[in-house]
Amino acid sequence: MKFATIGLAAAILASAGIGAATAQTMSYAQAGALLAQSCGKDIEKYCPKANLGGGGVKDCMVQFETKISPQCIADYKTVVASIAKREAAQEAAPKACRNAAANYCQGTEPGQAHYLDCLLAASKVVGAACNQALTDAGWR
């Protein structure tokens, strides 16, 4: 898969943090740190004047894709997959946790993450699917 076919914003390269993807999804900070580590030298070499905002770095990297390190390309694919999984989990979590919220969070005031706080506090009883959705969404 080429950089051009992946719709990840290049702005994540500027994020701080460190860590690699495991069974859980990675945060934007972790994604940025991983890409900065594995793609930083390529960016400095081929795209030193590219504007980070608006996809400038990503567009530049596409131009030099054949010269970019294989590790950078592999990590980029990992980041894109992990961020997509996180975003999908955030959309799916309310449905995955609907029954748990109804059973364990009765009387919880809506809004301001009150249901999320309740589900996290009841993690031992809410069920595997809800817990996994919360983890994949980055809320645990």
pLDDT digits (tens, 9 = 90+) for 85-111: 999 999 999 999 999 999 999 999 888
Whether the model pTM is above 0.85:
no
pLDDT of 16 above 60 = no
What phi, psi does 98 have (nearest 5°)?
Answer: -55, -50
What are the residue ranges spanned by the domains of the chain? 1-86, 97-140
Query: Whose CA is closest to 27, among 83, 78, 89?
Result: 83
Compute, in degrees rounded to 10, the torsion defined by CA atoms 20, 24, 25, 29.
-50
21-35, 42-56, 116-130 — which one is most confidently predicted on average? 116-130
